[in-house]
Amino acid sequence: MPSSVRSDYHSTQILNNEHNEHQQVKELVEHKPIQDTLSIELNNSKIHALWTDFDSENLSTKVISASHCTNGFVATILQAYSSNQHLFLTPDDVWLVIAQGISQHINNNAEKYRQRIVNHQGQKRVEIYGQDLLEDNEENNWITLFDRLNRAMDELITIKDLLTCNFSTSTKSTKISSELVMLNSVHSNSSYNTINNLSFKSGIHKITLDGTLDDWLNIQQKIYFLKKLSLDLDFWLDRLEPVINQFISTYKGDVDLNFWNTVAIVGKEDNITLTGWISAFFPYAKGNIPLDVNCIRVYDIPDGRISIPFVNENDSSNIKIISGFFGTKQELQRENNEIIVSPVIGWVITDL
């Protein structure tokens, strides 16, 4: 299992038969440090702190240099799908992308739904104390900032617990990323890669769903509660629910190969349009365009990150937090001679 394993429990299922063994790509593609990617995106703005669950004391996280798209969750699935590799997902990965979709829907209809999700009228500024963190400018305890922000959100947002990752696999990074989605303004990145090497003839060789069965049933239960909130999300949840049900069946060992072989089918004419259930994780394409069917263009897939600005009232040292999916990571499992692919979730604090 990869270094990202967070639970003593998981379910691994083989999705492709042995005759597809020759289609597996068993070499790692080029990776680069997340800092390098972010520095370009942020125009070399100062990065105060960066954290992912893959970080170790002497090694920062690297992600695939040329992903299939800018959304790390989707890019991970497409990487495994196009290279016949081992896909590794946690309930946090799946729930975070769903929570981001919920947040986008609420942001698009703030006046309509505000009273159902917040404890105040109109817009309210979130104020927290952070001058001590700015003055102690090392790899300081920025977690303190999130703890303070979390307490402030407890007083404002009624559905925070529903949106938060609370699984046996959940880490500080995944909890922080899920807690921040309700404060977000969408972090947009216009660059994208066409998926010239994606082939539906390949498919995912093997899948590991980390965590317990109860974790995955918890996602199903969260969707049930979402429907009870009357947020007019049925246009999306009716597409999403069957996908989650298939994940649960797969965890139990009841594998529907047709489902896993229809993750994404590339349009033959433009090579950028995807049909298949991968787009069921999104209520909207970029530009807040509602998705009524499982079909999306690669460059219309949301980026999977959120950006929240913080203004320092004492001076000009303003910062912003970017959190969510930072890319895709491959790991070589030598004992099985296979490559495991997983999303990278994290957060970064940078100058505004």
pLDDT tens for each residue of 216-246: 999 999 999 999 988 999 999 999 999 999 9
What percent of the chain clears pLDDT 70, i.e. is strictly above it?
A: 80
> Higher confidence at residue 55 or residue 51?
51
Supply the pLDDT for residue 68: 85
Mean pLDDT of 268-273: 79
The amino acid present at 222, given as its one-letter code, is: K
Instruction: Provide CB contacts within 8 A for 112, sequence distance 6+.
Output: none
Confidence grade of residue 315 (pLDDT, cut at 50, 70, 90)? low
What does the pLDDT look like over 169-225, one tens digit per residue?
999 899 999 988 877 644 444 344 444 455 555 689 999 999 999 999 999 999 999
Q: What would the pLDDT profile of 41-54 be if each residue is shown by its tens digit?
A: 888 788 888 888 87
Long-range contacts of 58-63 (CB under 8 A, 24+ apart): 60/33, 60/34, 60/35, 61/33, 61/34, 61/326, 61/329, 61/344, 61/346, 62/31, 62/32, 62/33, 62/34, 62/329, 63/31, 63/32, 63/34, 63/37, 63/326, 63/327, 63/328, 63/329, 63/344
pLDDT at residue 203, rounded to an integer? 84
Confidence (pLDDT) at 21: 55
Examine the pLDDT at 20 and tell me if it is beyond 70: no
Candidate ranges 139-143, 173-177, 188-192, 276-280; pick with highest mean pLDDT: 276-280
Confidence of residue 326 (pLDDT cuts 50, 70, 90): very high
Structure tokens at 92: 């946090």
On whether the CB atoms of residues 297 and 116 are closer than 8 A, the answer is no
Gap between the terminal Cα atoms of the chain: 38
